[in-house]
Structure 1
Amino acid sequence: MTDDAALERARAAVDALHRRVARLDDNALDLIFREGRNHTKWQARDVPEALIREAVALAQFGPTSANGQPMRLVLVRSKEAKEKLKPTLVPGNVDKTMSAPWTLIVAYDIAYWTRMPTLYPIRDMSAMFKDNLPFAEEHGTRNGTLQGAYLIIALRAVGLDVGGMSGFNRKAVDEAFFAGTTVRSNFLMNVGYADSAGLTYARLPRVAFEDMATIQ
């Protein structure tokens, strides 16, 4: 297929999608956003690896700058890996993490730009990062965080619950899981089927549109 043909096919797919789906229904919006909570207690129910893989594959379709895709993941499931993670956690996050079926270390690769000739073949942008590593890390952090948010949405979309956490020692996690690499931890998320008994308060307030946004 020529590049022109591929482009025309992509444009046709966008048009067909908009004809097929106008928007998500209320049930989907409730599942992903309005009724989704940050959970801390988990059912003793298996979460198959295939479901995690499905969510990760969905999250990868979220946009990143120049298709850089800097997010990297460690999917912590085994007892041995949980024990390695345990001493890096603040005390309040230990029980919820050790009892979760999965804990995902959401990280980013500060050398993600080395893959850009493949991921963004439209033009080679790797030189602008190679010659300015602080700039590369800034972009990696920002876009890796975006991908982590996409992953939360994807996990909820496939019916799983998530408990995101920033209460951990990043340096210790990096030493335990990423030593000798260019990968840096960002945040953690526990994943499973939530036990609603773990909720200790109702939905907290959200910032009003008028306090968050201006229209100019």
Structure 2
Amino acid sequence: MEAAVAYDNSYDRSQPVTDQVLAQLFTEARTRNAWSDRPVSEDIIRQLYELTKFGPTQANTTPARFVFVTSDAGKERLIPLMAEGNQAKTRQAPVAVIVAYDVNFHDTMHKLFPHAPGAKDWFPEREGRREAALKNSSLQAGYLISAARALGLDVGPMTGIDFAGLKQEFFPEGDVEVNMVINLGYGTDENLFGRSPRLSFEEAARIV
């Protein structure tokens, strides 16, 4: 059995982070369509995953599966399966992350949710598992985007892709389906659109 993890609770987590952090993660962050040639190291990629994995999911199912495409050979497999408008920027980006989800995530529940030994049985039907995996891997994609920005990276998420083709090319074994592709790197202002409007609180939310 793994040893208990010691957490650092010495800071006051009830206090908000600085405005600079909020700007980097949210208010000033932009979806990038062009990329500098500055590389993204394997160490950064691994650090990115180590942060992403801590985001909460339903019963800690963590169904997302990630392929970090960095090589020319990997790009040659990936780019033909992108929509035409996404191909050039994906070729230019140092990293393209295929975010997929394992429909059979329940097979790891004994490891990920050990305090409920019967947790695997909560997901008996494939369609129910697929729906849960899609929702929770989408959450994980959001965590990856925030973690990437926290590490100083820019992101460009895309769903203009050949889902079936990517599954066949990168996940030929097992019951794994593709959710999205996210370009990662250090973005430039080339092809950067003006920030689109957002709905106000009154238009999108309410307090009851």
The reply to whether TM is greater than 0.5 is yes
Question: Cα distance 1:209–1:20, how it changes in 2: closer, same or farther (>3 A)?
Answer: closer
Task: Identify the residue that residue 214 of structure 1 maps to in structure 2.
Answer: 206
2:165 is the counterpart of 1:172: yes
Q: Look up the equivalent residue of 2:26 and give its one-letter code.
A: F
Write out the 4+ residue segments of structure 1 that deviate beyond 4 Å after TM superposition.
Answer: none
Identity %: 37
Q: Look up the equivalent residue of 1:127 and give its one-letter code.
A: D
2:67 is the counterpart of 1:74: yes
2:115 is the counterpart of 1:122: yes
Which whole-Å deviations, capped at 9, do the CAs of 1:8-59 have from their partners, x for residues lacking one? x76xx55x44x26611101000001001111010001111111111111111
Task: Identify the residue that residue 195 of structure 1 maps to in structure 2.
Answer: 188
| Among 192, 196, 201, the residue aligned to 1:204 | 196
SS in 2 for 1:148: helix
In 1, distance between residues paired with 2:106 and 2:75? 30
In 2, distance between residues paired with 1:62 and 1:128? 21
Q: Look up the equivalent residue of 1:73 and give its one-letter code.
A: F
2:19 is the counterpart of 1:26: yes
The answer (yes or no) to whether the contact 2:33–2:191 under 8 Å persists in 1 is: yes
Q: What TM-score results when the alignment is normalised by the length of structure 1?
A: 0.90
SS in 2 for 1:197: coil
Task: Identify the residue that residue 147 of structure 2 maps to in structure 1.
Answer: 154
Task: Identify the residue that residue 84 of structure 2 maps to in structure 1.
Answer: 91
Deviation at 1:212, TM superposition (A): 0.6
Deviation at 1:133, TM superposition (A): 1.4
Task: Identify the residue that residue 101 of structure 1 maps to in structure 2.
Answer: 94
Question: Cα distance 1:128–1:48, how it changes in 2: closer, same or farther (>3 A)?
Answer: same
2:66 is the counterpart of 1:44: no
In 1, distance between residues paired with 2:58 and 2:26? 24
Deviation at 1:128, TM superposition (A): 2.0
In 1, distance between residues paired with 2:14 and 2:129? 37
SS in 2 for 1:191: strand
Q: Look up the equivalent residue of 1:27 and give its one-letter code.
A: Q
Which whole-Å deviations, capped at 9, do the CAs of 1:125-157 have from their partners, x for residues lacking one? 10121x211111111111111001000000000
In 2, distance between residues paired with 1:152 and 1:78? 21
Superposed, which structure 2 residues align to 1:132-151 within 5 Å? 132-151=125-144
Which whole-Å deviations, capped at 9, do the CAs of 1:161-209 have from their partners, x for residues lacking one? 001101011000001111122211100011000011231x211111111
The answer (yes or no) to whether the contact 2:40–2:94 under 8 Å persists in 1 is: yes
Structure 1 portions without partners, runs of 5+: none
More helix by share: 1
SS in 2 for 1:196: coil
Aligned pairs, how many? 206
Which whole-Å deviations, capped at 9, do the CAs of 1:68-89 have from their partners, x for residues lacking one? 1101001101111101111111
Structure 2 portions without partners, runs of 5+: none
Q: What TM-score results when the alignment is normalised by the length of structure 2?
A: 0.94
In 2, distance between residues paired with 1:27 and 1:51? 21
